[in-house]
Amino acid sequence: MAFVELETQGESHRAIVNTDQIAYLSEGIYGTSIHFASGEYIVCVGELEDVRQRLFGEAPAESLLIARPVPAG
């Protein structure tokens, strides 16, 4: 279980996020949103790629989309 502190828009201005509970990230009119498995979401300060790097590390986003081959047999 990993926790990351992020700047958010709105009343609190900061949030500590459990990365195990994230369903997906999206970028919209109000900024980058972190959507959780529960259906709740928060809007962060920063671009999508910046937020993703804070949450999951430095690997390029493209590497997350590449499927790894399954060994035959």
pLDDT digits (tens, 9 = 90+) for 10-65: 888 899 999 999 999 999 998 999 999 999 999 999 899 999 998 988 665 555 55
Residue by residue, DSSP assigns 5-72 as: EEEBSSSS-EEEEEGGGEEEEEEETTEEEEEETTS-EEEESS-HHHHHHHHH-SS-HHHHHPPPPPPP
List the domain range (segments joined by +) for residue 9.
Answer: 3-59
Number of domains in the chain: 1
Instruction: Please give the pLDDT value at position 72.
Output: 67
Task: Kindly state whether residue 55 falls inside one of the protein's structural domains.
Answer: yes
Task: Kindly state whether residue 72 falls inside one of the protein's structural domains.
Answer: no
pLDDT level of residue 69 (50, 70, 90 thresholds)? low
Task: Kindly state whether residue 29 falls inside one of the protein's structural domains.
Answer: yes
Task: Kindly state whether residue 49 falls inside one of the protein's structural domains.
Answer: yes
**pTM to 2 decimal places:** 0.74
Task: Kindly state whether residue 66 falls inside one of the protein's structural domains.
Answer: no
At residue 73, does pLDDT exceed 80? Answer: no
